[in-house]
Structure 1
Amino acid sequence: MSHLNTVYLVVGGGIAGVTCVESLAILHPEESLVLITASSLVKNVSNVSFFAKTIVKFDVNETEASSLQKIHPNLRIVYDSLKQIDTKNKIAITDGGVEVRYNVICICTGGIPRLISDSSKSKRILGIRDTESVQEFQERLKHGRRMVIVGNGGIASEIVHATRGIQKIWVIRDDYISATFVDPGAAEFFQDSFKHTATEDGTNKNTILRRHVFTEEDTVVSLNKNLKSAALGPDWYRKLENIRNDHGEQELEIIYKVEVKSVLENDSEYPLRIELTNGKVIDCDFVISATGVEPTVNFTWDQEPQKGPDGGLSVNEFQETTVRDVFAAGDVAYAAWEHAPHWFQLRLWTQARNMAGMAAKAMHARITNQEVLQDFCFELFTHCTSLFGYRVVLLGKYNGQGLGNDYEILLRYTPRVEYIKFVLQNGRLQGAILIGETDLEEMCENLILDQIDLTPFGDDILNPDIDIDDYFD
């Protein structure tokens, strides 16, 4: 058994783990640091751009873990999986028998994709989360004729948008598409864009569909899990856009308010037979399971930290678990502190990066006996992504989360150009959805954080003939 000693130990090569390593390299470059990663390829963030103080867009790239040593000369990398942690003696042991003694540790083991039931019985059920699964999907797509997509979040939405030349049946348990992120109005905006050819600037050049079928059933069944990996970045789907089956028929069918009941291998024309909870049977070549993640705690402890209701490791505002000197960030963590009025947890790459940066600051403060304050990014929920070729920015309580029925909505909707939704309570902006090139991000951020009374403006705040920005410079 080999032995290592380090001040800082980070476990996981996803966005959270690498962000934590990079932050510690800046905060404490002269101190020892060990990264345990199961893969030689890790995720790092590049092309960071700010639309406002808290609204960040960035690319996530895959790189060799060894490249991190260029920014941190005292970094050592252990290519292995974590097996157990002895928190009393501060020792982490890997599957391969490497023993690492640490002062502080950050767990960034990510989430396990929830795969549909019976997934272990068929290799034709794919969970899209890491690069390997994307590559496997690309190979299937080259020869596939019909696929079923299960899930209604960002990954499922982008698969529907980015794949070409294959029949697609999209199975969702909600009554509108992309429900993880947007409201029914925004879903209608996206569906409207499906039905039209490219705009002059090419915004929707890849969303021309020949036929649409929208059906609805009222049933729900539980899903379950199987896979282990690190999350994809926001632009992963671009790898799919050049993959197509030119012989396939371009067709989309969306089946609402229904889930998968069973998956069986099939001897007929298509190798899989999918039965839905409404009794409908679908024959297809493969199934994409994109139904979210569950926190990955796949190792043992001498004393296990407290967990949240979703199984994540409960962390305070400094990302520390209930066991001293054990921190956690990203999908494996459950935000157990009292949240700011306009922030809530959603397992996204944006929050994984924020949590990991906070964890690094707190770990450094613990070692150097300094005081640390929670980062400003936790004051306001923000997420910037792309859906169906449009820029999407979500701010605050964008779907009225936690407001009950006591709020009003202002909308501005220009088909195939923009969708703007303001959520107001007592005349003050509580959240917003901005789809398209709206240039309202900074103004909305300020209005939510400052809680300015907008009553005097009435509906004019979204009047396209009035430059409302001028009032808040």
Structure 2
Amino acid sequence: MNATFVVIGGGIAGVTCAETLAFYQPEQEIILVSESSLIKTVTNLLALTQTLTSFNVEEASSNVLNSKYKNINVVHGTLNKINDVEKHVIIDINIKINYEYLCICTGARPKLIPQAKDNPYVLGIRDTDSIEYFIERLKDSKKIAVVGNGGIASELIYKIQNTDIDWIIKDDHISATFVDPGAGEFFQSSLHKNFNTAEQSPSKQMRYEEEGGSKSGAALGPDWYKHFQIKGACELPAQVKIHYQTELAEVKIDADCEHPVKITLNNGQEINCDLVISATGVEPNLNFHGSSDFKLSPLKEIMVNEYMQTSLPNIYAAGDVCHAYWDHAQHWFPMKLWTQARQMGCYAAKCMSSALNEEEILQDFCFEIFTHTTKLFGYKVILLGLFNGQKLGKDYEILFRMTKEHEYVKLILQNGKLQGAVLVGDTDLEEMCENLILNQLDLSDYKEDLLNPDIDIEDYFD
């Protein structure tokens, strides 16, 4: 097979890259290689500010791309080998695809706890298939342990019903990947809330079945939990017990006990449960061979420059598999998120298109400021700039406002200028905060009034 552009990966980064290429190069042949016959597509894309977007990620048959774009051909298979000298890839064992430009968007795989190896009672959470398997196992469980403190772990804790949960986190507050201890405390009241009827109703979203058995799917997108009912075997609502600053030390199985799993924490505490859920992050998926070696980061990610180019000619990379190896803008940094996977996939396509046309390209504006929107414990969460004081050392000040069960607002200032913000709830402050971070206006004279609820500060700065 031959194509001008070959994109490897059916996740958010890969599909976005292929779709953007189809827009910029409608006359060129594009091949998207996906392990699964299902792909992840971005829908309902909504611009909240100049750089902040919200969107849904939906699972769809790969035929959707074939029918929507005449120049995209989807090939089902797994990348086996890259030959950068002869410019071709081998898919599985018998498909050879020649390319002019190649983009690797193979994403990441779950970084499971060591105790998960060959243990049927320890489940990893990463994609839709793993979630559905977990839901099936949870139906017979009355007590589980969840290890991890990122987005998926937090969403699971919030969504699980009718099962007692021991939440094991190595930090001193919940959701530490995204928020500070204050916001973690703000979320505490949501741990034991019952869902409203709308959230409990079965999903009406179209579901597709995998062809030819299950294969590894792409990462879960934002609000994935809305489409599932996650219930255990208890008749009473879930009770959550949090074990702070602890890690899992040992897992033992005794099938004759009421709760067959016995786990020991590194503080010596023992817990009996029915399942252990590993939601401890991801590692890059580089399960293929190459005729040449990529330049890799210490975490084994493919390093890319400011044009998403790898160390090998005509080969690009985007999403969780790569590391942004360039001088970052003051208020931006890389993080393994679906928002950045989408941004990188889109920008990589622009760079490849410009390379084909021998055009100069400027780096996308989305890399000027870190932005991310998600939902945690039922609240809208917006993160802007250096939202946890990243890069600032200890020389900064914090302004915050909290209304219990309503909103949590934290602003990070250095030398009187806004550097980052955490906005939880419907604050409507995101556009103002983004503008103040980008234009670096001196706010020294306004600090006392920035979060005064009696002053419409957003209207003032507009």
Smaller-chain TM-score bracket: over 0.9
**Aligned counterparts, 1:429-440, within 5 A:** 429-440=418-429
SS at 1:304's partner residue? coil
**Aligned equivalent of 1:145:** 142
Compute the displacement of 1:228 (Å): 5.5
**Aligned counterparts, 1:237-252, within 5 A:** 237-241=225-229, 243-245=231-233, 247=235, 250-252=238-240
Which one-letter code corresponds to 1:296 in the other structure? N
**Aligned equivalent of 1:345:** 334
Whether 2:48 is the aligned partner of 1:28: answer: no
SS at 1:456's partner residue? coil
CA distance in 1, matches of 2:451, 2:194: 28
Which one-letter code corresponds to 1:68 in the other structure? L
Provide Cα deviations, 1:364-410, integer angstroms capped at 9, x if missing partner.
11111111111110000000000000000000000000101110000
SS at 2:355's partner residue? helix
From 413, 416, 426, give the equivalent of 2:405.
416
SS at 1:158's partner residue? helix
Whether 2:84 is the aligned partner of 1:87: answer: yes
From 95, 98, 106, give the equivalent of 1:98.
95
SS at 2:361's partner residue? coil
CA distance in 2, matches of 1:243, 1:75: 40
Which one-letter code corresponds to 2:223 in the other structure? D
Whether 2:16 is the aligned partner of 1:19: answer: yes
Maintained 8 Å contact 1:343/1:396: yes
Maintained 8 Å contact 1:25/1:71: no
CA distance in 1, matches of 2:34, 2:230: 31
Whether 2:305 is the aligned partner of 1:281: answer: no
SS at 1:62's partner residue? strand
Compute the displacement of 1:271 (Å): 2.1
Maintained 8 Å contact 2:264/2:271: yes
CA distance in 1, matches of 2:458, 2:140: 51
**Aligned equivalent of 1:162:** 159
Compute the displacement of 1:292 (Å): 0.5
**Aligned counterparts, 1:365-380, within 5 A:** 365-380=354-369
CA distance in 1, matches of 2:5, 2:23: 13
Whether 2:51 is the aligned partner of 1:54: answer: yes
Aligned residues with identical type, % of pairs: 49
CA distance in 2, matches of 1:242, 1:141: 8
**Aligned equivalent of 1:464:** 453
Provide Cα deviations, 1:301-355, integer angstroms capped at 9, x if missing partner.
1111111122110001111111111100000010101100000001000000000
Provide Cα deviations, 1:79-101, integer angstroms capped at 9, x if missing partner.
11001100011010012320000
Please, which moves more after superposition, 174-183 or 303-312? Answer: 303-312
Note the residue ranges of structure 2 that are not aligned, 5 or more in a row. 201-214
SS at 2:434's partner residue? helix
Which one-letter code corresponds to 1:33 in the other structure? I
**Aligned counterparts, 1:206-217, within 5 A:** none
Distance 1:300-1:196 versus aligned 2 partners, 3 A rule: closer
From 214, 238, 260, give the equivalent of 2:248.
260
Distance 1:245-1:270 versus aligned 2 partners, 3 A rule: closer
Maintained 8 Å contact 1:54/1:382: yes
Maintained 8 Å contact 2:121/2:274: yes
Provide Cα deviations, 1:173-218, integer angstroms capped at 9, x if missing partner.
00100000000000000013436678xxx69999xxxxxxxxxxxx
Whether 2:45 is the aligned partner of 1:45: answer: no
Maintained 8 Å contact 2:125/2:279: yes
Whether 2:129 is the aligned partner of 1:132: answer: yes
Please, which moves more after superposition, 234-243 or 415-424? Answer: 234-243
From 382, 388, 393, give the equivalent of 2:377.
388
Provide Cα deviations, 1:436-466, integer angstroms capped at 9, x if missing partner.
0000010000000000110111221110000
Which one-letter code corresponds to 1:301 in the other structure? G
Which one-letter code corresponds to 1:397 in the other structure? L
SS at 1:24's partner residue? helix
Whether 2:414 is the aligned partner of 1:425: answer: yes
Please, which moves more after superposition, 422-431 or 261-270? Answer: 261-270
From 100, 104, 109, give the equivalent of 1:107.
104
Distance 1:121-1:242 versus aligned 2 partners, 3 A rule: closer
Note the residue ranges of structure 1 that are not aligned, 5 or more in a row. 207-226
Distance 1:402-1:97 versus aligned 2 partners, 3 A rule: same
Maintained 8 Å contact 1:263/1:274: yes
**Aligned equivalent of 1:7:** 4
**Aligned equivalent of 2:320:** 331
TM-score, normalisation: structure 2: 0.94
TM-score, normalisation: structure 1: 0.92
CA distance in 1, matches of 2:376, 2:406: 13
Whether 2:290 is the aligned partner of 1:293: answer: no
SS at 2:117's partner residue? helix
RMSD, matched Cα: 1.7
Compute the displacement of 1:241 (Å): 3.8
CA distance in 2, matches of 1:459, 1:140: 52
SS at 1:452's partner residue? coil
CA distance in 1, matches of 2:216, 2:244: 28
Paired residue total: 447
Distance 1:103-1:344 versus aligned 2 partners, 3 A rule: same
CA distance in 2, matches of 1:364, 1:86: 21
Maintained 8 Å contact 1:197/1:204: no
Compute the displacement of 1:47 (Å): 0.7
Maintained 8 Å contact 1:167/1:248: no
Which one-letter code corresponds to 1:105 in the other structure? L
Compute the displacement of 1:247 (Å): 2.6
